[in-house]
Amino acid sequence: MMGSVGVGGHNLGFGPTVPPELRKLQLEKVHSCFKVAILLFSVMIVVMGFVSVVLGITVTVFIKTNEPYPRFPITGAGIWAGLVTIGVGAVGVISGHKNANADQLKTLMVFTVIAVPCLIVQAVFAGMWATSENSAISGISYGLLGLAAFSLFCFIFVITYGSSLAFCIMPEMEGKTPCCYCDIQTQMNHQDIQKIQQYYQNQNATGIPAQSQATNFQSEYWTKQTSVPITNPPPYPT
């Protein structure tokens, strides 16, 4: 089913097909936005990984010093889970670069999935030691539990953005397959509007005067002051 372009639910006169130039602009904007999101979350993941290692070492020392007969296993989960988290974050920083390709993002997905069980183990053991009667051990364990939970929260976004880019958006940008991320909405600026105007000045596929159609697009878009949704569009030519 061919898609349509509208503002606030109104058709802009584009006809039954989505302009390739508009589709290209939307994909490029989403691509850039998702890459920035992956980069930011990855930086936070790296920071949390370092903090987790420090707290893991600290709580291990406290337990061995103050718990001659530990109630729970001393696994050092915060240490090795933190190291794994740092590794994932480092891969994420590389994958969040604007020139990173789909294969690098797929590698990030693999590392992230591997790291998830490590964080779950960290959370489980941190939760156990959080019940310790020693306030220092309990406090640090709660900190490790919080770090594990927040890291998992960040991983969800990294997986969501990374998989959308690697398996949907970037393949279409490379001219391979239509994007399965079909309902794309982004805010266009004045330069984007000018590009769409230029597209209609160069084409007259619907029988409507191209200049008039471009002018209608600009006036209705800025009147509505909203984003332009695209639903089930065809792939644009490369």
The per-residue pLDDT string of the chain (238 residues; one tens digit each, 9 = 90 and over) reads: 334 333 333 333 333 345 667 777 778 888 888 999 999 999 999 999 999 999 999 999 988 888 878 888 777 888 999 999 999 999 999 998 888 888 889 999 999 999 999 999 999 999 998 988 888 989 999 999 999 999 999 999 999 999 888 888 888 887 776 655 455 544 555 565 566 656 656 655 555 444 445 445 544 444 444 444 444 444 544 4
Task: Provide CB contacts within 8 A for 47, sequence distance 6+.
Answer: 89
- Residue 232 pLDDT: 45
* Per-domain boundaries in the chain: 6-22+179-230, 28-173
Bridging pattern class, strands 10-11 and 6-7: antiparallel
- Residue 4 pLDDT: 36
Q: Is the dihedral of CA 40, 44, 45, 49 positive or negative?
A: positive
Contacts of 111-115 with CB under 8 Å at 24 or more apart are: 111/87, 112/88, 112/155, 112/158, 112/159, 112/162, 113/159, 114/84, 115/81, 115/84, 115/85, 115/87, 115/88, 115/155
Q: What is the C-alpha to C-alpha distance for residues 87 and 71, in angstroms, rounded to an integer?
A: 31
Largest distance between two CA atoms of the chain: 85
Could you give the 3-state DSSP secondary structure of residue 226? coil
Q: What is the C-alpha to C-alpha distance for residues 42 and 223, in angstroms, rounded to an integer?
A: 38
Model-level pTM greater than 0.75? no
- Residue 206 pLDDT: 52
Tokens 């639903």 label which residue?
A: 231
- Residue 193 pLDDT: 58
